[in-house]
Amino acid sequence: MMESALTARDRVGVQDFVLLENHTSEVAFIENLRKRFKENLIYTYIGSVLVSVNPYKELEIYTKQHMERYRGVNFYEVSPHIYAVSDNAYRAMRTERRDQCIMIAGESGAGKTEASKKVLQYYAVTCPASDHVQTVKDRLLQSNPVLEAFGNAKTLRNDNSSRFGKYMDIQFDFKGAPIGGQILNYLLEKSRVVHQSHGERNFHIFYQLIEGGEEDLLRRLGLERNTQQYQYLVKGNCPKVSSINDRSDWKVVRKALSVIGFSDDDVEELLNIIASVLHLGNVQFGAEDGGNAWIAAETQIKYMSRLIGVDVAVLREALTHKKIIAKGEELMSPLNQEQAAAARDALSKAVYGRTFTWLVNKINDSLAFKDDSRLTSKNASVIGLLDIYGFEVFQNNSFEQFCINYCNEKLQQLFIELTLKSEQEEYESEGITWEPVQYFNNKIICDLVEEKFKGIISILDEECLRPGDATDITFLEKLEETLGGHAHFVTHKLADGKTRKVMGREDFRLLHYAGEVNYNVNGFLDKNNDLLFRNLKEVMCMSENKILVQCFDREELTDKKRPETTATQFKNSLAKLMEILMSKEPSYVRCIKPNDAKQSGRFDEVLIRHQVKYLGLMENLRVRRAGFAYRRRYEVFLQRYKSLCPETWPSWNGRLVDGVSTLVKHLGYKPEEYKLGRSKIFIRFPKTLFATEDALEVRKHSIATKLQAGWRGYSQKTKYRKLRNSAIAIQAWWRGILARRRAQRRRQAADTIRKFVKGFIYRHQPRCPENEYFLDYVRYSFLMKLHRSLPKSVLDKSWPTPPPALAEASELLRKMCMQNMVWKYCKSISPEWKHQMEQKMVASEIFKDKKDNYPQSVPKLFVGTRLNGEDINPKVLQTLGNEKMKYAVPVTKYDRKGYKARTRQLLLTGSSAIIVEEAKMKQRIDYNALKGISVSSLSDGIFVLHVPCEDNKQKGDVVLQSDHVIETLTKLAICADKINSININQGSITFTGGPGKEGIIDFIAGSDLIINKAKNGHLSVTAPRLNSR
């Protein structure tokens, strides 16, 4: 609400200027604007009038969410916004069934066009929609870019300045949906077509066509993509503007024309006219010897004649001659060079101006509601949207500024009258005595301009129509003669010495409501006459262009009546506009430009003071504050402030007026500070409201504390009760579940015991219903026990004892389990480990339970060889050649005769065992010749290799000792394939020591290993017994 923002008024100002304490101070007014502008709060009210400051940047306050926030909400319940004005007008139209009007005014660049767009966008989004309604919404929105292209231009003050006044009616059906519209345009600045001031541009459409038009289109129109080639576009020396993208805007305009309903033929004819104006501007005239004008180059006129469909010769003659009717005869009078140029420019302005009027009418046709049977006075309503030029004061003010400021005088007169009228009506409806308000009545200025016979427009028309040599100076002299004594009119001749210093001799000054303005009379007569030679009209009537034929009616040629002057046409259209506005309920938007540089965040106080004055904002504020600064309905006021009085808090049950009366008495309001109406309270001074609002802000803290305490207590009690009830319910539910579970378990236990006992009794009988449960349980118990105690490895031979009934199944399972473990083990071993295991298996087969030191060899891995390449003499390796050595081990050889121990190396190859002494191969024993191998059963390392005695190469059996006897003999048995040829002897081994000679080795168990020659000539080996077999 508006009141809620008062607590931050020191930082952001007040949302309504009516609440300014010093409402008569212009300084306070502007300072409030500044505060809000710095906080990006661009909207402020003066009562129901909205003041808008152009931020010159995008603000995030126009989203769909913002539209919904303002939709259907009371005007003062939300912060000031253009949407609030739009919604207020819309709701008033729906509820009161009365036509509304939103009047937007302000200087060029103040944001009027943007404000009108926001209003249209708000209605397009928030109003009810259907297929037809959506089409109307689209056309209403798309009419803006089209009108901006043809009616807006870049000026020194605004890059997108509207150079015409616009009034748009939006028609709504009984449901509140937009179903049609109509646009009225006022005083298009046609002179801009032929001339622009430095730094300004022609109308946007010319630049959009050249920059954005397709190559084929430009070629057909005879145009180049260079604005510098056209005389009508170079006068302002400003072809490009950084804030305008002509190429992009061209696409928008073409799309908009299609949406509005322009056919391809309409667009083609329209662009032909635009291009022909550019070509016409490039037509240059030369002078003959007699001074008569002639066209210097034919190219441009040929293009133009082709585009508008007229004969070249006829057009050429029309541009260089004028038709005179004397005594009923038509004569062609040649024009001089200056007159021909003036005729050319007059034709350009006439063609463009009438085309613009045709364009507006065409848009109106597309917006018009076609189903008249539904549109009656009972169910149709209208919201008008007036986007019109604001008060203008330039260094040099001409005819256009005179008309614009006259329009603003009329609007100001209407504004004050309607404001006073609405104030008076509200006072009367509430039963409050109306106190007459003194204000400046600018009727005297309006009469000065428009009064019959004596007004400036009448004098101007009279001077334009009178025969003889009428000029702008004679017009000024006539003004001095007629209006010389008027208090609001002065000229250089009538002024005092001080005023003459700032006025030109060709100026006259009007004292407008907004201040003094000097007007230069040069061009007043020409612009008012706006004459076009008759023969030029005839040529335009001959055109094959369908639009020009509609713009130049042949009835003009036969009509003997002189057409109305521009000023009279404007005065009449303005009078009609005043009638329209008077018939509607008005809403006002006043737009302010913060600086001339179009910079965001810059606040030019001098410029803003100038606009505040010209917009009459202080006058409006004074009228609004002449009575009471603040008024609210009883229910709203009581609802907001009832907490400040014990009798009205927390609720009031009596009449609203009694509640408000009790409240203000408790607050100490003095009788002169307020009045009570029929449904509203009126507060005279803002300080009274501020004091009330400050008291509410203080009161809020104590109320908040009480509310918080009460709410916390209530919420905790509620939470406790809820938790307690939930706990009780859960406990009861859980106890029931537990009791049911216990009972069910008892029943199941009894049934199980019963089955078990019965089964145990019948356990030895064949399977029957009485014992099946018991037998199944026994089977299940065994299987579960087996599952828990399965062997963990292949070597684990444990297996639970099965019940008799499962003996066969148990054996099958044991075999399957062992096979599975073996398979898994085999799958998991590497090739190297497999080779190791194969050797271990051979060793086991040979030595297990036969030789004492075998168990100690089991955990020790067999190695590939006990001698590396460095340990064997290279000559031996050289002697071996390509024969691959599979195993080598150091051994001790005992002589056959004296049993002397000698260090040797045993090498195993693929075909033989070789005994080596350093670099010398002492003996080679082929595996084929090896008869057998003998070894004792004790833990010694002695073994004998038996060879045939018949072999001359062999001297006899070989007695060797190895520290790794199990490994060595296993390797030898594998290499020689003599696994079954190894004999393990107990007691003694007999060996052959040569031809006819035998030797005996005696093995004796002892504590230590001792090898020596016994007295009996035998080799005695004493070895400890490590394992009892």
Residues serving a catalytic function are 108-109, 113, 158, 161-162, 390, 392
- Positive or negative torsion for Cα 776, 782, 786, 789: positive
Q: How far is CA 205 from CA 225, 278, 432, 663, 724, in A?
A: 14, 11, 56, 63, 78
Q: Nearest CA to 5 among 75, 79, 73?
A: 79
Q: How many CB atoms lie within 10 A of CB 307?
A: 25
Amino acid at 413: Q
How far apart (Å, rounded) are the C-alpha atoms in residues 49 and 543?
A: 49
CB 903 within 8 A of CB 968: no
How far apart (Å, rounded) are the C-alpha atoms in residues 782 and 809?
A: 11
Q: What is the DSSP string of 726-750?
A: HHHHHHHHHHHHHHHHHHHHHHHHH
CB 175 within 8 A of CB 196: no
Residues paired with residue 183 on neighbouring β-strands, in sequence order: 168
How far apart (Å, rounded) are the C-alpha atoms in residues 344 and 318?
A: 9
In what helix (H) or strand (E) does residue 920 lie, and over which residues does it extend? strand 920-926
How far apart (Å, rounded) are the C-alpha atoms in residues 728 and 723?
A: 9
Task: Name the burial class of residue 487, with classes exposed (0-12), middle (13-18) and buried (19+) by CB atoms within 10 angstroms of its CB.
Answer: exposed
Report the SS3 class of residue 982.
Answer: strand
Q: How far is CA 200 from CA 152, 153, 159, 162, 651, in A?
A: 11, 8, 9, 13, 64
Give 661's Cβ-side CA count (13 Å radius). 9
Token match 């202080």: residue? 618
HEC per residue, 745-803? HHHHHHHHHHHHHHHHHCCCCCCCCCCHHHHHHHHHHHHHHHHHCCCCCCCCCCCCCCC
What tokens were used for 703? 């109320």
Which positions ≥6 away from 623 have C-beta within 8 Å?
416, 419, 420, 423, 437, 439
Q: How many CB atoms lie within 10 A of CB 1004?
A: 14
CB 516 within 8 A of CB 510: yes
Q: How far is CA 982 from CA 461, 777, 974, 979, in A?
A: 150, 56, 11, 6
Task: Name the burial class of residue 52, with classes exposed (0-12), middle (13-18) and buried (19+) by CB atoms within 10 angstroms of its CB.
Answer: buried
What tokens were used for 579? 């009638």
CB 600 within 8 A of CB 55: yes
Task: Name the burial class of residue 23, with classes exposed (0-12), middle (13-18) and buried (19+) by CB atoms within 10 angstroms of its CB.
Answer: buried
Quick one: DSSP state of residue 336? B
CB 978 within 8 A of CB 932: yes
Q: How many CB atoms lie within 10 A of CB 692?
A: 22
Report the SS3 class of residue 149.
Answer: helix
